[in-house]
Structure 1
Amino acid sequence: MDIHRCRFVQYPAQSINALAFSHTSRPKEKTPSDGRLAVGRQNGDVEVWNPAKGLWVQETILRGRADSTIEHLEWTRDLIVEENADGPEISHGPLRLLSSSGSKQLLEWDISSGSLKRQVEGNSGDIWCFAAQPQLENPKDIKALESGIYSPLVAAGCANGTVVLFSTEDGDLRYLRPLLAPPAKKPKVLSIAWRDRNTIIAGYEDSTIRVIELSTRKILRSMSLGKGPDGNDPVVWAVKYLPDGTIISGDSSGQLKIWNAKNFTLLQTLKSHAADILDIVVNANGDKFFSLGADRRTFSYQHSGSKNLGWVEISHRRYHRHDVKCGAAFESKDLSVLVSGGLDCKPIVVPIRKAQGELHRALSHLPQQPLISASPSSRLFMSWWGNQIVIYQVRKPRNPEEQNFDFDGPTPSSYETLAQLVVQGDEHIQNAQLSADGQFIVAATINGVKLFQLRKTQAAGRPCLRTRQVELPPAIVRLGARQAGFSPDGKWLYTIRKDNTIALNKLVLGSDPKDEPAIHEKTVKLYRVSRKQPKSSLGTYPQTITHVAFSSDSRVLAVGDVSGAIDTWVLEGHEDVDYVEAASDNSDNSSDSSSEDDDEEEDESPVIHAQKWIRNPSGSQLPQLDSSILALTFRPSDHPSISNPVDGNRGLHATRHTAHPVAHELPSSNIRLIAVTATHQVIEFDVLSCRLSEWSRRNPSKYLPHAFTRLKDRVVGCFWDCTDPETHGERLWLYGSNWLFMLDVSQDLQEQNATPVFTTATSAKAKVASLGGYDVVDPVESNPPAATNGHAYKKRKRNTGAGDAIPEHQRPSGVGSTIRKFKNDRADVDMVDMDGDEDVEDQDTDMVGDENGDDSLALMRRRDDQMQQSTKPSDANGDGQPAMPRPTHWCTFEYRSILGVGVIGPSPPESSDLEGKKRGPLEVVIVERDVYDVPKGPRLDVGQEWDT
C-alpha cells in the first residue's frame, strides 16, 4: 500500500466556548444511558458526545450558520405534573438544548433532526449569559408552589444590564418578562446562576454581584468586588454557588472570592490565577471546586475543615496550551470527571474522584466522521468545512527508472488544487461526497441539497476543473439532508433527510459527455422498520442515521444509527434504460409528504428502469448491536465487480432477451456487511440471511487483538485493500484520530491471542448477549484467563471516565492514593484511600506489561515480499523452507490528527482487460491536520513555562 501524507489540506479547527452535561450529578447512582455532553464551538456548531463507560464517542454534530457562534449552552427538561387522587404525579419531558451566540436571540436545538427548532428575542439587547432554573423533584414543593409554573424558567443577562425571563412551559420557548430593570449605568450582565428556585445571582461588568429575588423582583444584596490588584475595577466573568448557598465569583483580576450564604459578606479571597478567571465548576457534593482561566491553568480547591483557614488550593496544572474558557463536571457511580475546553480546540477530561490516581485525557479536536471523500478513478479527493469545498488532485509518483528522469531537476508539487466551491447561503455543509468516478459532487445542508458536475480541462498547461450545477427536483432541494452521497456505480444519489427518511434518485447521463445529466422524475423513499426502544429523554435522537453503505455492485443498501440498529434494502431486477413503464408501475411516491406506515414502501417504491428497491426480503432484521455504529462497510470481494467498482458504461445492463420485462431477481446471496461499534466490537453479518457470517462466528470480538481493543480513541472510518487477495488477503483498514489498524478478515484470528475487551465492569460475571446462535460478549468481562500471550493479569481499579490509572511507582513523591491515619498516641496505623472506597466488583483487569503486537512497517513489507516469492502449491520458498505466515493484524501510531483517509488508486482497469491487467498497489491519502498548525492568536505569557 502506497501512502500519501497530506498536510496541505485546510481545516480550521474551532475553539470551544461552551460545555454542558444533560443530567445533574448523582454520585450514588449509575450514569444514565441517555446522558450526553454538548460542546459548543466558535463557528456555531454543537457536538453531542456520549460519555458512557468512559468511551467518549462523538455521535453527531449540529451544524451552525455562517457568522454565528456558540457562547453558552444549557440543557433543560419540562416538568409534567398530573393531579391524581394520591397527589400530584411528576414526570419529565424530553431533554431540550438551549444556546446563545452573543446576539439578541435565545436558540433551541432539535437534536433529533439536527436543526434549529425555535429562536426568541429578549427585547433587551444582546444576550451575554443565561441559566435554567433548577428542577422541582419533591411533590411537596409542587404543592407549595403558588405560581403554578412547573417547567423551569430561563434567566438571561443582557447587554444593557437587564435580566429577563423566558418560559419553557408546554414545550415552548417564549419571552416572559423582564425580571430586573438595568442599573443607572447599564453595565453588561456577564454571568448568571440560580442559587435556588427563587434566587438569582448575577455578575456585572461594573465589579458588582447582585442577588435578585424572583418572587419580589427586588435586589436582596449588591456585593462590590472593589479595586483589583492593578487598581482597575474587575469584571465578574463567573459566578457559581455551593449546595449550602455559598457564592463563589471569579473576575478579570484573577481573584477568586467566596461569599457568605446568609448575609452575603466576603469570607475569603484567593489569588491563584495570573489572569482572568473565565469559569468556575463545582463538584456534586460541594466539597471541591475548580477555577479555569486565561493563564491556561486549572486550579482545584478543597475546604480545609477549619473556619480560620477556609478553602485552600490543593493543586493546579496547565492541561491546555491556550486560554481555558469553559468547563463542566459530572459525577455518578462510575463517572467522575471535569471536562474543560478553550482556544486550543481540544476537550480535556480530568478525573475528580481519583484526581491523584488517574491521568487526564485529551479528546480529539477533529470530527468523529471523516471530512474527506476520494475518487480512485480520477485520483481526486476533496475536503470541506463551513460552506466551502476544495478539490485536489494527487499526481502519480515519478518513476526513477524512466530514461528522461531528471534527478537534478526541481521537484514538482505532488498535488494540485483544482477547484474551490462555495455553497451559497448561510448554512454549514452537513455532508458532502465525491462520486467514485470523479464526475459529481453532492453537498447537503440542513435545508438544501446541491449537485455539481465536474469536467477536467487544461489551462496554461495545468490541469483544472470546470464545474456546473445540476438541477435537482424541488422536493430534494427544499427538504435538505443530513447526509448525501452516491452508490459505487454512480447511478444512485441518496439523501438522508431530517426525519431519517432515505431518498434515492437515479442519475441519467446523456450519450454526449457535454450533455447535462438528468435526474429521473421519480424519487424512491425508504422507511426504516420500527423497533422497540427503551424509554429515553432524548426522544427519537437514538434513531438518527449516522452511516450509509452500499455493496460493491450497488444493489444492497445499509444504514446504521446511534442506537446500534441496522436496516438493509436490496435492488431487485435488471437495469433496462429502454423499459416502458406500465400503469401498475406508476405508484410514484416522489411527493414530499412522508408516510407513517413503515411497511408500505415495498408497495409504493416506484419501478425505475425495470428495477425496484425493496426491504431485505429475508423476513427478519439484523440484531441491534450494543452501541452506536462507528463504521459500516460491505466486504468488497463478495462481488466480481471488486476489480471494476466503477463501471464506465452507464447504459443497458439487462441480460435478458425478453422485451421490457420486470424481473424479481435479487443480488447474490453471499453479501457480507461489517459493522464496528462504539465499544470497538467488529461484527460481520450475512445480509440476505440476517445472521452472522461464518467468519464472525469463528472470530468473536473477544478474539480481537489487544493492539486494537486497547485503543482509546474511537474509530473514525475504514477502507479496504483487496488488490491482491491471494498474496495479501482481504485487509480491512480502520483508523482513528491518531492510529491506523489493519485486520485481515480472510483468515481467522488466532485464538491464543484472544484478549477480552475490558472496560468498566459492573458485575463479576460477563454479560453475554445471544446474537443469532452466536455469543457476542458485552465488553464488561471481569474474569479473564490467568495469562494470555505469556502476560500475566493484575487487578486494577477501573477509571472514572478520564485516563488510565497512574502506576504506584510513577506517582509524585508525597502524593499518592493512600495516606496514613494515626489513632491516639499509639502506633496503630490505618491506610485511608484518598480516591474513595471501591468495591471488589468495581475493579477491572489489565495486563502486566503491554503487548507490543505492532510490527514495524518494514517487517510487514518484508513478510509480504517473502510470501510473494514463496511457491503457492507447496507454501515453501526456493530453498524448501515454509513461507512466513501472513500477519492477521498490524497497528501504527505514526499518523497524528487524522482528518480522513481517501482511496485514490489504483484506477479500475478497462472492462475489456479485466482478466489480463494486473492492478497496482492500493494508494491512499492520509490527511493530517494537527491542532498545533491551527492559528489561535496570541496567548498570555505569565512566565514559568516549565511549570505545568
Structure 2
Amino acid sequence: MPVDIHRCRFVDYNPHTISALSFTHKSNVKKFAPNELRLAVGRNNGDIEIWNPKKWIHEFTMYGGKDRSIEGLVWCTKDSESPRLFSIGGSTFVTEWDLKTGLPLIEVDSNSAMIWSIAINQSQDKLALGCDDGTVVILDISGGAGSIEHSSFLQRQDSRVLSLAWKGDEFVFGGCADGKIKAWNVETKSLVASMRVDKSKKESTLIWSVTYLPKLDQIVSGDSTGSVKFWQVENYTLLQTFSVHDADILTLTCDADNENLFSAGVDRKIYKFQHTNNKWMINSNRLFHSNDIRSMASYQSKNYQFLVSGGVEKSIVVNPIKTFIDGHHKKISPFPQHEKVVFNDEKRLIAMWSDNLVKIWKLVDKSTHKLVAKMTLTDDENISTVAFSPNGEWLVIGRLTTTKLFRLQEVEAGKKLNISKASNELLLAKGSTNLKFFGNDSIILSTPEAEIYQVSISEEDEPTEIEYDLPESAKKSKLPFLSTINNLVIHNSKLLVSRIGGAIDIIDLETKEVKQFLRLSTNINKLQVIQGGNLIVITADNKIYEFDLKDQHLTPWSTKNTEFLPYKYLSQDPPVGVFYEHDKLWVYGADYLSFFDLKLDISVTKFDRKRKYSSVIGHIDISEQDQIQAATAEDAIEDDDDEVLIDDVDLRSSNQLDFKTLSKDKLSYWMSHKYKPLLFVTPIESLDKSPQQSKDLLVVERPNLDTAENSFKLRQYRI
C-alpha cells in the first residue's frame, strides 16, 4: 500500500540564543543527585526552560515577552523548601518566578541602574546585583518564596559591574568595565581591594566573568582580551595568567573539587585548566559550538558529572567533566521538544507560532504552498499554545494570562486569509497552557494553575463556561510545575488529561463526570488514544505504555514489549509528537521518525535482555559500561540493519514506502533519520482525493535558512 509523504520545508521556525544556564543544586560528589535536580536555560526572547538532566527532557517553560531577555539566573535551593528561581535581563528589576504557574511571582526594582549581573551567597539568603552605575545591591531573600527586601548598597565605584561572585557570606567580588576586579566587605559595605587586569590597546578591558574557588581561596577572571587570570584572595595578588582565547571570555565554571576549571567565549572554544602541584596548567581545549558561547554551568554528584554550555548556536551541549579531553559529548537539538506547529486538515492550513508571531500557510496542491496570513500580536507576552477548529474557521491563541479567539475567512482561494478578532470575555479572562476544540463551538483549555475549563464560542447563544475539578495528584514533589497539565487528548466525548508528574484523569464531556484514571510514579511526556480506544503513554525516559481505557490495565503488547524497546529508540531525544495511523504507532523527535507495529512483538537482542527491569513504578537503568557494549556488540546492531534495509535498499530501488512490504518482513519497529530537523508530523487526507488512496503523511521540516531552502515536495515511499 503506497503512502505519499509530503515534505514541507517552508515553516521557518527559528530557535533563540541561550543567554544563561543554572543548575538547581550545588555539586556534591559524596551524594547521589537529588530527584529534583534541574537545569534552567534562559533565552534571549525572555523564555526560561526547565530541563530534567536525567534524560535531557524539556519539562516546563516560563514565557517571556517582547523586548525581554534573560541575562542571569540563580537558584535558591534549601533542603526544607521548594527551589526558588531568580532572573535578571536588560532592566532594573530582579524577578522571582512562580514554578507552578510559570508567571513572575514578584518583581523588585534595584533602586539603582540597569542590572548586569547576579549572584547568590553560600547561605542562600542574600542576592548581590551588579548595576550599570557601579553599584552593588544586596537583597535579602530569607523570608521565603515571594519575599525580596533591600538589605544594603555596597560602596559605589564608577564602572559597570559585569560579573559577580561571593566568598561565603562575607565578601563579594565584581568584574568591572574599567578592567578591575573589586572586592567588597558585605558587613561593612566598604570596598576593600581592587585588582587590575591587562589593558587593551584599543579599548577598555571588560571583565565578563569572575568565579570564586573556595577550596583554593582563589578568584578566577575572564576578560575581553581573552585572558584567564588566577588571583590569591589572602593578599589580592595575581598568581597566574593564561592568554589562551582569541576573543572575549564570557563565562567560567569550575568542578566541585576546584581541580578543573573551564573557560569559553566568543572564539567558540572551551578550554580546560587543571590544578596540579599548586599550579594551574592548560589541559586541553575542544570545539563543540559554531558560534559564541554565552554561558556554562557544571554539576557533579556520585552518579552525574555535567559540563553544560550554550550560546548563539542555540543548542545545549553536554560534556563529561572528568573525561572532557576525549569523552563523548551530547548536543541537544535547538528545536523544541514540544510542538510549535498545528495543522487543519479541512482547509489544509499550517500554523507556526514563535514569541508573539503566528504564520499561516495553505497547501494548495501536491507541490504548492502559500503564506496566507502573518499575525504579529500587540501583547507583550509570548504565545504558549495555538489551536485550529476542525472546520478551519476559528483560530485560538493562548498565553499564560489571556486567551484570544480569531475568525478566519478565505478572501482569495489559496491566496489570502482575512483574520478578525472575536469578542469572548470568558476566554480573555483566562490564561492557557493547552488548547483543544471540542467540535467547532467549544474550546477546552488548561490554565497555568492546572484548571480545566470548557468555554462555548457559539455565536447563536451567550458564551458559557464549565469548570472541571481534577482529583489531587498522588505524587508529592518540591517542584510545583510537576502538577502542570501537559497533554489534553479528546477521544469521542472523553477528555484525557495528563500532568507532568504522572497523573492521568478522564473527563466525560457529556455527563461532566470527572474520575481518576492512573497515577504513575514516572513523569509523563506524551499522551495519545489510538484506534480501538487504547491509551498510549510515553514517559520521560521514552518508555511506551499501552493501557486499556476500560480496565486501566496494560495491554498484552505492553506487558510483553515495554521493557524491551529497542535501545536505538530509547537512546533518542524525547519525542516531539505521537500519533496512530496505518495500524502503527508513530513517534517522532527533532531528528528521527519511527513507528511501532503494536500487533507484533519486538525482537529482543542480547543487549536488551541485559537491561535492568523497570516498570511503571521505576525507570530504565543502563550503566555506562552497558552503553559502551551497546555501541559495539554485534547483537545490538540488528536494529541498524533494519533501517539500512528500508532506507538504503528499498528507497533507492522503488522510491516508495509500502506497508505490505513491511508486513512480509514482519518489522515490529522502524526508524529513519532522513527527515530533520522535524517540527511536526501528522496524517492528512490525500491531496489528490483519490478514493483508493490511504491517508498521506505531512512531514514539516525546518528549512535551511542559510541556503534559503523553501520547498513543498511530494515523495512516495514504501513503509
TM-score in terms of structure 1 length: 0.70
**Residues 337 and 351 of structure 1 are in contact (CA less than 8 Å); yes or no, is this contact kept in structure 2?**
yes
Task: Name the Cα RMSD after superposition.
Answer: 2.9
Checking the alignment, whether the CA contact within 8 Å between 2:457 and 2:463 is kept in structure 1 is no
Amino acid at match of 1:562: I
1:376·1:905 contact (CA, 8 Å) conserved in 2? yes
1:542 and 2:482 matched:
yes
Cα shift readout 1:588-615 (whole Å, capped 9, x = no counterpart): xxxxxxxxxxxxxxxxxxxxxxx33212
- Residue in structure 2 matched with residue 364 of structure 1 by the alignment: 333
Q: What pairs with 1:620-699 in structure 2 (closer than 5 Å)?
A: 621-626=517-522, 628-635=523-530, 637-638=531-532, 671-697=533-559, 699=560
Q: Deviations over 1:897-930 (max 9, x none)?
A: 2122244423899xxxxxx954533231323255
Larger Rg: 1
SS of the residue 1:797 aligns to: helix
- Secondary structure of the 2:66 match is coil
- The whole-number CA distance in structure 2 between the counterparts of 1:493 and 1:758 is 47
Residue 711 of structure 2 corresponds to residue 920 of structure 1: no
Shift of 1:532: 3.1
Q: State how 1:771-786 maps to structure 2 within 5 Å.
A: 778-780=619-621
Instruction: Report deviation, 1:123.
Output: 1.2
State the 1:376 CA deviation. 1.6
Q: What is the CA–CA distance in structure 2 between the aligned matches of 1:160 and 1:934, rounded to whole Å?
A: 44
- How far did residue 674 of structure 1 move? 0.5
User: Following the alignment from structure 2 to structure 1, what is the Cα–Cα distance between the partners of residues 656 and 336?
Assistant: 34
Aligned pair partner of 1:533 in 467, 472, 475 = 475
1:471 to 423, 434, 456: 423
1:889 maps to 2:663: no
1:205 match: 177
1:88-125, Cα deviation, whole Å (9 max, x unpaired): xxx53221111101211111111210111111111111
Correspondences of 1:384-395 after superposition (within 5 Å): 384-395=353-364
Q: Contact 2:483/2:500 (CA < 8 Å) preserved in 1?
A: yes
The one-letter code sitting in structure 2 at the alignment partner of 1:72 is G
Contact 1:544–1:561 under 8 Å retained in 2:
yes
* Counterpart amino acid of residue 700 in structure 1: N
In structure 2, runs of 5+ residues without a counterpart are 710-719
- In the alignment, structure 1 residue 856 sits paired with structure 2 residue 646: yes
Give runs of aligned pairs for residues 219-230 of structure 1, distance below 5 A. Answer: 219-228=191-200, 230=201
Letter in 2 for 1:898: L
User: In 1, Cα distance between the equivalents of 2:188 and 2:361?
Assistant: 64
Residue 92 of structure 1 is matched in structure 2 by 80
The offset of 1:422, in angstroms, is 2.6
Q: Which residue is equivalent to 1:718?
A: 578
1:236 counterpart (207, 232, 241): 207
1:748 deviates by: 2.1
CA distance in 2, matches of 1:717, 1:95: 30
In structure 2, give the amino acid aligned to 1:779: I
Structure 1 residues 260 and 753: alpha-carbon distance in aligned structure 2, compared to 1, 3 A threshold = closer
* 8 A Cα contact 1:388 1:421, kept in partner: yes
Residues 469 and 169 of structure 1, relative CA distance in 2, 3 Å threshold: same
- Matched to 1:478, the amino acid is A
* 1:214 positional shift: 0.9
* Aligned: 1:612 with 2:511: yes
Contact 1:357 1:806 survives alignment (8 Å): no
Q: Is the 8 A contact 1:906 1:921 kept in 2?
A: yes
Question: What is the one-letter code of the residue matched to 1:422?
Answer: T
Pick closer, same or farther for the CA change 1:750–1:37 going to 2, 3 Å.
Answer: closer
User: SS in structure 2 opposite 1:884?
Assistant: helix
Deviation (angstroms), 1:754? 8.2
- How far apart in 1 are the matches of 2:666 and 2:329? 38
Partner of 1:437: 391
List per-residue Cα deviations over 1:876-916 (Å, max 9, x = no partner).
xxxxxxx824432211001222122244423899xxxxxx9
Measure how far apart 1:570 and its partner are.
Answer: 2.1
CA contact (8 A) 1:376 1:906 kept: no
User: Alignment length, in residue pairs?
Assistant: 701
Q: Which amino acid aligns with 2:51?
A: W
CA separation of 1:189/1:293 partners in 2, compared to 1, >3 Å: closer, same or farther?
Answer: same
Match of 2:156 among 161, 182, 200: 182
Is the CA contact (8 Å cut-off) linking 2:474 and 2:519 kept in structure 1?
A: no
Q: Tell me the residue number matched to 1:756.
A: 608
Structure 1 equivalent of residue 294 of structure 2: 325
Q: Deviations over 1:682-723 (max 9, x none)?
A: 1111123222234323x33123234423x331111022323x
Matched-pair contact (CA < 8 Å) for 1:376–1:907: no
Q: For the structure 1 residues 692 and 123, does the alpha-carbon distance in structure 2 shift closer, same or farther, using more than 3 Å as the test?
A: same
Which whole-Å deviations, capped at 9, do the CAs of 1:383-430 have from their partners, x for residues lacking one?
Answer: 111111111111222xxxxxxxxxxxxxxx620111122333111101
List structure 1 segments (4+ residues) > 4 angstroms apart after TM superposition.
Answer: 751-755, 804-808, 845-850, 860-870, 916-919, 929-935
Q: Distance in 2 between matches of 1:694 and 1:851?
A: 23
| Partner residue in 2 for 1:68 | 68
Indicate the percent of aligned positions where both proteins have the same amino acid: 27
CA distance in 2, matches of 1:734, 1:332: 33
2:102 aligned residue (110, 114, 119): 114
- Tell me what 2:280 maps to: 311
User: Over residues 769-788 of structure 1, what are the superposed CA-to-partner deviations in whole Å (9 max), with x where a residue is unaligned?
Assistant: 4x6xxxx8731267xxxxxx
By how many angstroms is 1:35 displaced? 0.7
Q: 3-state SS of the aligned residue for 1:383?
A: strand
The range that moved more, 13-22 or 856-865, is: 856-865
Task: Give yes or no for the alignment of 1:427 onto 2:381.
Answer: yes
Asked if the contact 1:767/1:781 (under 8 Å) is kept, the reply is: no
Say if 1:702 and 1:755, in contact at 8 Å, map to a contact too: no
Distance in 1 between the 2:419 and 2:609 partners?
Answer: 48
Where does residue 138 of structure 2 map in the other structure? 165
CA shift for structure 1 position 807 = 8.7
Write the deviation string for residues 275-317 of structure 1: whole angstroms up to 9, x where unpaired: 1111110111101100011111100000131x4xx21100001
User: 1:612 and 1:906, CA in 2 relative to 1: closer, same or farther beyond 3 A?
Assistant: farther
Counterpart CA distance in 2 for 1:330 and 1:347 is 15
Matching of residues 71-150 of structure 1 within 5 Å: 71-77=71-77, 92-135=80-123
Aligned to 2:127: 154
Name the counterpart of 1:271: 243
1:444 to 1:731, Cα distance in 2 relative to 1, 3 A: same
How far 1:175 sits from its partner (Å)?
Answer: 4.2
Pairwise CA distance, 1:624:
0.8
- Counterpart residue number, 2:454: 504
- Mark the CA change 1:621 to 1:755 in structure 2 (over 3 Å): closer, same or farther: farther
Contact 1:389 1:420 (C-alpha < 8 Å) held by counterparts: yes
Relative distance call for 1:39 and 1:685 in structure 2 (3 A) is same
SS of the aligned residue for 2:517 comes to coil
Moved more, 334-343 or 924-933: 924-933
Tell whether 2:405 aligns with 1:451: yes
Are the aligned partners of 1:64 and 1:428 in contact in 2 as well (CA < 8 Å)? Answer: yes
Q: What SS does structure 1 have at the residue aligned with 2:289?
A: coil
TM-score, normalised to structure 2's length?
Answer: 0.91
Structure 1 Cα separation of the partners of residues 152 and 428 of structure 2: 41
**Aligned partners of 1:106 and 1:121 also within 8 Å:** yes
Contact 2:180 2:195 in 1 (8 A): yes
Flag the structure with higher strand content. Answer: 2
Residue 480 of structure 1: aligned partner: 431
Q: Cα distance 1:890–1:933, how it changes in 2: closer, same or farther (>3 A)?
A: same
SS of equivalent to 1:700: helix
Q: Does 1:705 align with 2:596?
A: no
Instruction: Write the letter of the residue equivalent to 1:528.
Output: L
Determine the structure 2 residue equivalent to 1:826.
Answer: none
User: Within 1, Cα distance between the matches of 2:501 and 2:341?
Assistant: 25
Residue type of the alignment partner of 2:29: P
Counterparts of 2:89 and 2:456 in 1: how far apart (Å)?
A: 41
